[in-house]
Amino acid sequence: MPKIAIIGGTGIYNPDTFELIEEVFPDTPYGKPSDKILVGRIAGVEVAFLHRHGTTTPYPPHKVPYKANMWALKELGCKYVISACAVGSLQEEYAVGDLVIVDQFVDFTKGRDYTYFDDRIVHIALPEPFCNYLNGVFEGVAKEMGIPYHMGGRYVCIEGPRFSTRAESYMFRQFADIIGMTVVPECQLAGELGMCYCSLATITDYDSWKDEVVDIDMVKRTMAECLDKVLKLLESGLPRIEECGCEECIGAAKGCGAL
């Protein structure tokens, strides 16, 4: 049973370095996950890989079956979730092509299914939503590899599928460093299930606060250019992951009775 889950796009799945063992497509109380879960090995480490947006059925960010995804990974035995994603920069010093190891999020989504606790009154504490241990592992690898990175970054999550208006982008700059569409509720659900969560975010654009128009082609093009270093980061970092035992990552689950 894999302890490590990787959630990302098609490019993150590299058949040249991923040794496939089996494919599973489990049922969950919340329906099917967004795609088959590929169980295999990267650099000798057993992992479960899931395409967040699907391959046969495309899921835009506001329609991703987040609850089914996280539940399925937990049922497979995963303890660590590593998310690879593309984001926009809200600050000049967070440059296009840089890696951001996220440490906080601000939720500006509007209509998502956020929690497993819809049938009882539960208040969940999640002051440190990202795993400090996993963040430290990948910071060490990024430093060794000479990858331009930021240790820590405040990620504002918006509903999508549209990008920000210029007025919104100016507002978000006041309290966040990067902007994306997928970390919520994925990170929160991981916390409810007692899984450690790490977001490796690649900056692909400057949102709309600069004098450029952001479109999906720009995001895909920049992500493709940065893909090799993300793959190498994973290949070098995965073998270093051991038992973290961090109470921060399971505190929410214990507090609400999930563990």
CA atoms of 36 and 25, how far apart (whole Å): 5
pLDDT beyond 60 at 259 = no
Instruction: Identify the CATH number of the domain defined by range 4-255.
Output: 3.40.50.1580
**Catalytic-residue membership of 215:** no
List C-alpha distances in Å: 66 to 8, 106, 227: 13, 18, 24
Domain map of the chain by residue range? 4-255
Q: Return mean pLDDT, the chain.
A: 91
> What pLDDT does residue 257 have?
54
Query: Do the Cβ atoms of 207 and 216 come closer than 8 Å?
Result: no
pLDDT at 216: 79
pTM here? 0.92
Q: Are 239 and 45 in contact (CB under 8 A)?
A: yes
Each residue of 110-160: pLDDT tens digit?
999 999 999 888 888 899 999 999 999 999 999 999 999 999 999 999 999
Which sign does the torsion angle of CA 228, 226, 130, 102 carry? Answer: positive
Phi (first) and psi of residue 100, to 5 degrees: -120, 125
For 212, the enclosing helix (H) or strand (E) is: none
- Choose, from 98, 103, 177, 207, the residue flagged as catalytic: 207
Tell whether omega for the bond before 129 is within 30 degrees of 0, i.e. cis: no
* pLDDT 10s digits, 166-221: 999 999 999 999 999 999 999 999 999 999 999 999 999 999 998 777 777 777 78
- Single out the catalytic residue among 205, 215, 217, 228: 205
Cα distance between residue 67 and residue 69, in whole Å: 5
Confidence (pLDDT) at 252: 52
Contacts for 230 with CB less than 8 Å, ≥ 6 apart: 12, 84, 99, 200, 202
Burial class for 215, CB neighbours closer than 10 Å (0-12, 13-18, 19+)? exposed
Q: Would residue 207 show up in a list of annotated catalytic residues for this protein?
A: yes
Q: Give the pLDDT band of residue 76 (cuts 50, 70, 90).
A: very high
